[in-house]
Amino acid sequence: MVRKVPADFDPERYRAEHPDVALSGLEPAEHYLLFGRIMGRRSAPARELPVTPAPEPTKAKPDPPEPNETRPAEKPLAPKERPKPIIDRPADFEPEQALVRPAPPKPGADKNGRFALARLAEEVAADAGHGLGAFRRMFGIDAAKNAPAIGLGAAQILRGPARVENAWLTADGVLRLMIADYGGETDGWTVRAYDADAAEPAQLQLLGPGASLPERGPVLVEFQLRHRLMPLLLEISNGSGAVKEVALLPFPSLLPGGLHNAELRALQSESNPMDAFWSLSDLLLRELVGEPNSSELSIGRLSRFQAAEPAASAFDGDIEQWLTAVFGFQRSEGDGKSLARRNGAADLLLPSDCIPTISSLVSRSLSGRGTSPYLIADSETLRPRWSVVLPAAWDAKGTAPVVGPSGRDGAPSVHVAIALRAPPAPSLSTGSARKKSRARRKLSVLLDSTHPDRSKAAVAALRTAIGSELDLLVRVSGEEASFRSVIDGAWKVVDADLPSVAAQAKHDQLLTITDQVDLSDGSVLDTLAGMLKNKKVASASCLLLREVLLKKQKVLQPATGGLFPAGVSFATSPSLTFAEPDVLQALPDLTYPVVANTLQLTLWRTSALASLPKPSRPLPASASDISIGLALAERGLVSLCTTKVSARLNRDYEPRDAIDPIGQSRLALQDWQQLLGCVTLLRQMF
């Protein structure tokens, strides 16, 4: 049935009353029939209709306070009619009760706030837990030999009425403690903090006056730190000034805002991050200053990321001072630049582009285990973003820094990283920096053509990069004739799967490329060819970048850097799913094995491709590359990708995410372990 507008429909009025009509480009009558009628819009002047006028979108219509009036009132409430804004102050509340006041001067401290460690030890009640023993051991103070049990000594601060609910560091080096609502139990208590200079650790330094707690919490207590990494002592005193407890914060940089907070986040094993902070601090402290046989952490393998940079160059005076005073590192006698552990048990060469985790610094033994995950942290916030596991067989050059903590029986329980690494700024090929290929080579090329003009440009770039030995095969989508007229030189049309095409290729290496890839930088081919020198490597690809419009600006973003295992799907039978994550963040400046390389730009070993069986059934286009990668992996061959070089896509590309392209059990359950053991595993952390 053809609908008609009502006889009294007024198109001009309808257009005037509804601004979206003009924006839609539709005639008012057409708009009314398509949308307005369904939305209940009136078709004629309101006065002619029995319905209530709809509210105007451009003018407020305040409602009366009385609900029995069913139409909006025309005027808002007069100010005098406004209700009282908030409730009265409760009779038992006095703001003075909640004020945090500076603590009284510490008896025995000099005018500069210096206070002897020995005196503080005398003041602590004998039966109170305290962290002074561990503090002395951390700094190797003589009396440490007789120091009591090791521990943080923070019964009140961990679990007592003065429990620290939260703590964090601000950008300007202030430690903030949120102390619980203790219900009046700690009235008159004071909190003070001390640190010590590495050169004179027995002489403590008060960090400000401290704070007197009010009757009720929660309260904020803050201390301006003198050093962003050095251990701290927190003292709790009662109303009469007697010290109740001295707690040790051995590694304050684990707190939010600190240099090592990413490590805490990555290893958080307690449901509450403050509990996790205390438990990890205790674990690391015991490893650092515990008995010789009490080791719970062991380093799997030590390495450095980049040998070119002198290790110590990344550390300023503060960090070197901390590494020396707390962890026993010294400038190596050999080159005078590297930092090495004093006892020599582990020759830890600190990487120049990383922040060593405390776990790696305190660890005292080598486990001999294989690879473990390491973390890539956000460069600004140091929040761990990616957990990376490189396969052991591939990591022969020590690319991944690893620390594998193991239990007493040698079995690993958790993994920690040696370093938090911020991804370097990407060095992207640009027009002005484009290089020419260093060497002409014999190469077969399979060009997937989607558009004549783009194909023409792609072939021109290929001939420049490869030269006269180009064996060009073209797979066209669309009319072949339209491509014939624009693509120069000799080329051959193919229409087959990749293994079949490889069988037709003249040369040992076959490049698959689409006309959406800008291959102006010929050095990309040199890099890929270099990766194929290893006979185990069947395919080599590189990071592909795409242009994205972001806030009116074109920016380059990673499109693909190979396919990785992403998860498990139970949609049919259990099967692995795959994804194309942002490898620029996770694997910067690295060559790594993947499940498969995309067909967008990959250099293949022709013989490896040709040996693959033809697909028994048609696969979706999005699955062909994964299918080939899995088939190669079954034959023990490796697909490599690199972020050391990159190429650009001139069309948009949507990275695939958690796809299950193979459908049925293409990869048998028992083969998962083998596959996962020989490709790079990425986990994006939150």
Partner 1 sequence: MAAALPEARAGDRKRVVFLLNLLQDLNIVRGLVYLTARETDADILLLVSHGFLKRDRLNGWQSEVAVLAADTNASIFLYGSPIEATAALKGGTGIIFAGSESSLLAHWETSDVFRAAPPGYVRVTLQHGIECVGFLQSREHLMSHGRNVSFGADIVCGWMELPALTSMVASERAKLVVTGPPTLLQSPGGFPAKTQTTGLVCENLHSVRLRASGDHKAAFMDIFFAFAAALAARGEGVTLRPHPGGQYVLKNNVALPANVGLNNRPIFDVNLKAYRFGISAPSTIVLDMVLAGIPVGVWRDPAGVMDASTYDGLTAISTLDDWLAFERDLVLRPDMILERQRAFLERLRMPINPAEIYHRFARLIVGLLSGVNVRASAAPADGPKPRPAALSGEKLVQVPA
Site for partner 1 in 199-258 (CB under 8 A): 208, 211, 214, 216-222, 224
d(CA 255, CA 219): 18
Give the nearest distance from C-beta 102 to partner 1 in angstroms: 7
565 forms beta bridges with 578
Site for partner 1 in 270-289 (CB under 8 A): 270-274
Site for partner 1 in 374-413 (CB under 8 A): none
Q: Which residues contact residue 417 at a Cβ distance below 8 angstroms, ignoring those fewer than 6 apart? A: 263, 266, 357, 359, 360, 372, 373, 374, 375, 401, 402, 403
232 forms beta bridges with 249
With beta carbons less than 8 A apart as the criterion, state whether 545 and 516 touch: no
Site string for partner 1, 3-32 (x = CB under 8 A): ---------------x--------------
Closer of 139 and 194 to partner 1 (Cβ): 194
Q: What is the CA radius of gyration of the chain?
A: 34
Closer of 116 and 180 to partner 1 (Cβ): 180
Closer of 383 and 442 to partner 1 (Cβ): 383
In the set 12, 96, 142, 654, which binds partner 1 (CB under 8 A)? 96
Give yes or no for residue 102 binding partner 1 (CB under 8 A): yes
With beta carbons less than 8 A apart as the criterion, state whether 525 and 397 touch: no
> 517-539 b/e with 16+ CB inside 10 Å = b?
bbbbbbebbbbbbebbeeeebbb
CA angle 393, 399, 404 (to 5 degrees): 80
In the set 8, 165, 495, 657, which binds partner 1 (CB under 8 A)? 165
* Interacting span for partner 1 (CB under 8 A) from 174-182, 336-344, 390-398, 426-434: 174-182
Give the nearest distance from C-beta 160 to partner 1 in angstroms: 17
Residue with the two structure tokens 């028994």: 616
Classify residue 368 as left (phi > 0), alpha (psi -120 to 50) or beta: left
Q: Please give the single-letter amino acid code of residue 617.
A: R
Closer of 281 and 646 to partner 1 (Cβ): 281
Give yes or no for residue 90 binding partner 1 (CB under 8 A): yes
Q: ω before 11 within 30° of 0 (cis)? A: no
Give the nearest distance from C-beta 182 to partner 1 in angstroms: 11
Give the nearest distance from C-beta 268 to partner 1 in angstroms: 6
Q: Which residues contact residue 629 at a Cβ distance below 8 angstroms, ignoring those fewer than 6 apart? A: 539, 563, 594, 595, 596, 597, 639
In the set 23, 78, 86, 433, which binds partner 1 (CB under 8 A)? 86
In the set 23, 47, 83, 481, which binds partner 1 (CB under 8 A)? 83
Closer of 222 and 547 to partner 1 (Cβ): 222
* Interacting span for partner 1 (CB under 8 A) from 90-98, 311-319, 339-347, 367-375: 90-98
Q: Please give the single-letter amino acid code of residue 261.
A: N
* Interacting span for partner 1 (CB under 8 A) from 119-127, 160-168, 447-455, 622-630: 160-168
Residue with the two structure tokens 């660890």: 363
In the set 8, 45, 101, 478, which binds partner 1 (CB under 8 A)? 101
Site for partner 1 in 520-559 (CB under 8 A): none
- 646 by DSSP, 3-state: which? strand
Site for partner 1 in 613-672 (CB under 8 A): none
Give the nearest distance from C-beta 550 to partner 1 in angstroms: 13
Give yes or no for residue 74 binding partner 1 (CB under 8 A): no
In the set 6, 45, 72, 478, which binds partner 1 (CB under 8 A)? 72
Structure tokens at 431: 């027009």
Give the nearest distance from C-beta 8 to partner 1 in angstroms: 15
Give the nearest distance from C-beta 38 to partner 1 in angstroms: 10
Give the nearest distance from C-beta 86 to partner 1 in angstroms: 4
Give the nearest distance from C-beta 380 to partner 1 in angstroms: 9
- Sign, Cα dihedral of 184, 185, 187, 191: negative
Q: Which residues contact residue 308 at a Cβ distance below 8 angstroms, ignoring those fewer than 6 apart? A: none
Site for partner 1 in 39-68 (CB under 8 A): 39-42, 50-52, 54-55, 57-63, 65-68
Q: Please give the single-letter amino acid code of residue 606.
A: T
What is the DSSP secondary-structure string of 104-173? PPPTT--TT-EEEHHHHHHHS-TTS-BSHHHHHHHHT-GGGGG----S---HHHHTSTT-EEEEEE-TTS
Count of chain residues binding partner 1 (CB under 8 A): 76
* Interacting span for partner 1 (CB under 8 A) from 268-276, 334-342, 391-399, 478-486: 268-276
d(CA 535, CA 638): 9
Q: Please give the single-letter amino acid code of residue 284.
A: L
